[in-house]
Structure 1
Amino acid sequence: MGHSQAEKAATHARVLQLASRKVRTEGVTRLGIAELMNEAGLTHGGFYKHFASRDDLIAQAAALALTEGTIKMQRSARKNEQNPRAGLIDAYLAKQHRDTPDTGCALVSLGASAGRGGQDFKEAYEKQVRTYLELIAGLDDDSEDARAEAMLTLSALVGAVLMSRAVTDQNFSDELLQTVAERLR
């Protein structure tokens, strides 16, 4: 790869990383190309050197945001060797996760958008849901209903973080996270 190709790849990755943080924080409808490129230190016209369209950028940014969560989920489960499921639950329902949507789980922030999105977006979202379900089900080796339990767990995790971010009362937000964590453990 020539120097200019390497630079182009690095620039593409930088713009994509920035866009993935923005879609987790602001959603896909508020993502502005001019603003994004300005933040990346590039011109609006340079956008089309990296992406075919705004929809292409959104699909790639959403896919990146979704897949980055897998590594975090695996790491969280490994933190508690005695009870990996509890480690995952505690990390996911932590106040830090609630308070940092730009680096948090994209299932929370992109669910509604994926439901209204195009085929590529829906497929990326579904792929991540299935990946998380496999990961969570694999933590319960002794359970006959591991897949069903994983569905219940993932739904509760995503729902609790979503609601805890949406309410205004900080104590109630904390209570949502704590109560769901206690019940899931």
Structure 2
Amino acid sequence: MSRSQADKAAIHEQIVNLAAERFREVGLNGIGVADLMKEAGRTGGGFYKHFDSREKLVEEALGCAFEQRRTKLEKYTAPGSTLSLGDFVERYLSEQHLNEPGSGCALTALVNDVARSGDSIRGLFTEEVESELAVLASLLKSKQPAKKRAQALLVLCSLVGAMGLSRAVSDPTLVAELLATGKTLLKAVDA
């Protein structure tokens, strides 16, 4: 790869990583191409040297966010891991995750935006939901596949809902209550 191709690839990766973070922070429509490129230290006109369309950027940014998430989840599914569903729930419903959506789970951060997106973006999101469900199912004790799937669905829906509501409400007492109740109830799912 020539130096100019390597430079272009590095710039492309920088833009995708920044978009993955910023979209989780402000939503898919919360930042425009010009502002994103400016934050990346690039001109808006340079965008089309890297992407055919804004939708292609969104697809790549979601792919990047999902890959980052999968990397974080590997510790739960690694051979010999002693991490439990309780550990997963504690981490997901933590104040750190609450306060750092840009590095958090894209499912919670972008669920409403993706619901209004096209088929390709919704397809990527669907794949990630299944990936997250597989991780959750691997942490559950049940030996019955249908029960394990139902429990994983319940946990994922509850995690995304509790975190989404916690980010949306303005009352700190209610936020604490949502997170604490979510932790207590979800840990009991597999008791």
TM-score (norm 2): 0.90
Distance of 2:34 and 2:82 partners within structure 1: 49
Aligned residue for 2:103, secondary structure, equals coil
* Partners of 1:37 and 1:85 in 2: CA distance: 39
Percent identity over the alignment is: 37
Residue 74 of structure 1, CA deviation: 3.3
Question: 1:151-170 deviations in whole A, cap 9, x for unaligned?
Answer: 00000001000000001011
Q: What one-letter code is carried by the residue in structure 1 that aligns with 2:6?
A: A
**CA 1:85/1:77 → structure 2, altered by over 3 Å: closer, same or farther?**
farther
CA separation in 2, counterparts of 1:25 and 1:44? 21
For residue 166 of structure 1, what is the aligned residue in structure 2?
Answer: 168
Q: How does 1:64-83 map to 2 (within 5 A)?
A: 64-75=64-75, 82-83=82-83
Q: 1:110 deviation in Å? A: 1.0
Normalising by structure 1, what TM-score?
0.93
* Structure 1 partner of 2:28: 28
Q: What's 1:155 paired with? A: 157
- The number of residues matched between the two structures is 184
Look up the match of 2:134. 134
Residue segments in structure 1 that go unaligned for 5+ positions in a row: none
- What residue is the counterpart of 1:176 in the other structure? 178
What is the distance in 2 between the residues matched to 1:55 and 1:137?
32
Partners of 2:94 and 2:160 in 1: CA distance = 12
Distance 1:121 1:13, change over 3 A: same
- Once structures 1 and 2 are overlaid, which stretch shifts more, 55-64 or 97-106? 55-64
Deviation of 1:43 after TM superposition, in Å, equals 0.9
CA contact (8 A) 2:76 2:135 kept: no
Question: After alignment, is 57-66 or 159-168 more displaced?
Answer: 57-66
Shift of 1:22: 1.0
- Tell me if the contact between 2:77 and 2:138 (Cα under 8 Å) persists in the aligned partners: no
CA RMSD of aligned residues (A): 1.7
Task: Name the SS of the counterpart of 2:30 in structure 1.
Answer: coil
The whole-number CA distance in structure 2 between the counterparts of 1:167 and 1:75 is: 31
Superposed displacement of residue 73, structure 1: 2.9
Amino acid at match of 2:181: T
> Do 1:14 and 1:40's aligned partners in 2 also have CA atoms closer than 8 Å?
yes
Q: Give the AA of the match of 2:48.
A: Y
Structure 2 residue identity aligned to 1:140: L
How much has 1:139 moved relative to structure 2? 1.1
- Residue type of the alignment partner of 1:128: E
Residue 138 of structure 1 aligns to which amino acid in structure 2?
Answer: S
Q: Distance in 2 between matches of 1:55 and 1:83?
A: 37
Contact 2:76 2:83 in 1 (8 A): no
Match of 2:44?
A: 44
8 Å Cα contact 2:77-2:135 kept in structure 1: no
1:63/1:121 contact within 8 Å kept: no
